[in-house]
Structure 1
Amino acid sequence: MEKTVKIDPKNSFYGTGRRKEAIARVWIFPGEGKIKVRSSSGKEWDAKDYFERDILMAKINHPFVVTETLGKFDVYATVKGSGKPAQAEAVMYGIAKALESYNPSLRPALKSAGLMTRDARVKERKKYNQMGARAKYRWSKR
């Protein structure tokens, strides 16, 4: 599937966001606030149709609200891995990094809102001789 958005390094700013297993590559460029998401299937979506829930859209728009740039940038993001809530947080983090590359003076506002710190929590690995990461097999006397 072809990209409908033309990304030009002269007028766009890039940021990578990660959360759990989700990775979002995010480009922002001057516009009227449209958000396009390209999923790993190759299909391009409007963000409202892809993420569906209002709370996820609020997360995605949070960096714009904090920096008072809501409606001034269009967003194009490619997402893969994990589930939609983690992908939405990855897009949020990618937007924050792209806004910082657009204007470094926005960093203090983004940092005080907690948007410049990657959430490093990931699933703990399963250990050998155990059912899962923490759960053990039950001991049986006979």
Structure 2
Amino acid sequence: MMASLRHSITNALRSSRQACSKSAQWQQSLDQQFGALRISSRSLSTFANESNPNVDGQFIAAPALSIDHFKLHPHARAVPISPSYFTRTPRFYDNYLSLERLMEEYEDLPVIPATAVERVAWKTLDDIRQELGEQVKASEFARCLTLIKRLNSIHPDLKPQEIKDVLDSFKRNVQPYTNVAKPIPIDQYGRACGVGRRKASSARAFVVEGTGEVLVNGKTLADYFGRVHDRESAVWALRATNRIDKYNVWIKVEGGGTTGQAEAITLAIAKALLAHEPALKPALRRAGCVTRDPRKVERKKHGHLKARKMPTWVKR
């Protein structure tokens, strides 16, 4: 009885000793692995200590740091920096998430009415696809553009610089809404030169204060234009503003026919007249003298008698 009890106690002590030995080995292995993965918070200096007697008052770069003796954990893996890495369009979604973050942070700022917001030409869907190199969906770009316009409607005096920087990245390089036509100067003789075009005709009109004399290529209106309609059309800008007897006009016109030349002269005189009196622009616009007429003769097509006329269809 005593012998079996002594044998049982001996086996129990031997098993506990082996278990403690294995536990110590396992703990030591874990400590080594965690020590290899531990990142020191101390900053490493690449310069020698100033108190080093071999330095002679100069800083010498320390030897290169070797990391070959570090052993990474076998289960360690690289983790993507961007949360959008596994999406279909990661670069676009990074921009979209940044817009959403700004919207959540600054949505309480006051906004201005839509009519008072500065007009901006934003990048199109094709521009975004070409810039990012990703096939962005039209619906996703529409949601992104909605956030952009909402952030742009924030009051300019309260808009943070962070929002301005993000919005600038979505603006086109050339803003057509900020382009302003150069004003027509008046030379030392009091002349303003305007240029007008219509179809194949081009005209240059020199307008100066006078008594209402008009010369076209050195001839009067009656001598140059045989049709009354062309004469009235040429000086329509002056007649519509009741300035027919207050300015002298000298015109140089070339190309096209009489109708095209007369309408080109109308636009040229209107531009030169605005240099003298800018307040006449609403009246000239109502008269149709400010905007160029882009219409041209349509070309003839093969199989047609003219540009659009088709030959008569015969059943047999």
1:133 Cα offset (Å): 3.5
- Using the TM superposition, name which of 15-24 and 57-66 deviates more: 57-66
Once the two structures are aligned, what percentage of the paired residues are identical? Answer: 37
For residues 137 and 60 of structure 1, what CA distance do their matches in structure 2 show?
Answer: 38
1:52 Cα offset (Å): 2.2
Which residue is equivalent to 1:15?
194
Which residue is equivalent to 1:65?
239
- Give SS of 2:235's match: helix
For residues 81 and 15 of structure 1, what CA distance do their matches in structure 2 show?
Answer: 17
For residues 32 and 56 of structure 1, what CA distance do their matches in structure 2 show?
Answer: 21
Code of the residue aligned with 2:211 in structure 1: it is E
Q: Which runs of 5+ in 2 are unaligned?
A: 1-185
> Is 1:29 matched with 2:203?
no
- Using the TM superposition, name which of 47-56 and 81-90 deviates more: 47-56
Code of the residue aligned with 1:78 in structure 2: it is K
1:127 Cα offset (Å): 4.4
For residues 214 and 227 of structure 2, what CA distance do their matches in structure 1 show?
Answer: 15
Structure 1 segment 86-97 matched on structure 2, within 5 A:
86-97=260-271
CA RMSD of aligned residues (A): 2.3
CA 1:60/1:138 → structure 2, altered by over 3 Å: closer, same or farther?
closer
- Using the TM superposition, name which of 75-84 and 53-62 deviates more: 53-62
Structure (1 or 2) with the greater helix fraction: 2
Larger RCO of the pair (alpha carbons < 8 Å, separation 6+): 1
Structure possessing the higher radius of gyration over alpha carbons: 2
> Is 1:50 matched with 2:224?
yes
- Give SS of 1:74's match: strand
For residues 56 and 90 of structure 1, what CA distance do their matches in structure 2 show?
Answer: 11
Query: Which digits, 9 at most, give the CA deviation of each residue in 1:39-98, with x for residues without a partner?
Result: xxxxx2112100122222211222112212111111111111111121111111111111
> Is 1:85 matched with 2:259?
yes
Which residue is equivalent to 1:123?
297
For residues 193 and 309 of structure 2, what CA distance do their matches in structure 1 show?
Answer: 41
Structure 1 segment 102-113 matched on structure 2, within 5 A:
102-113=276-287
Code of the residue aligned with 2:205 in structure 1: it is V
1:134 Cα offset (Å): 3.4
Q: Which runs of 5+ in 1 are unaligned?
A: 1-7, 39-43
Structure (1 or 2) with the greater strand fraction: 1
Query: Which digits, 9 at most, give the CA deviation of each residue in 1:107-136, with x for residues without a partner?
Result: 011011111111111012344676654356
Deviation >4 Å, runs of 4+:
127-132, 135-139
CA 1:52/1:137 → structure 2, altered by over 3 Å: closer, same or farther?
closer
Query: TM-score, normalized by length of structure 1?
Result: 0.78
For residues 37 and 72 of structure 1, what CA distance do their matches in structure 2 show?
Answer: 18
1:19 Cα offset (Å): 1.0
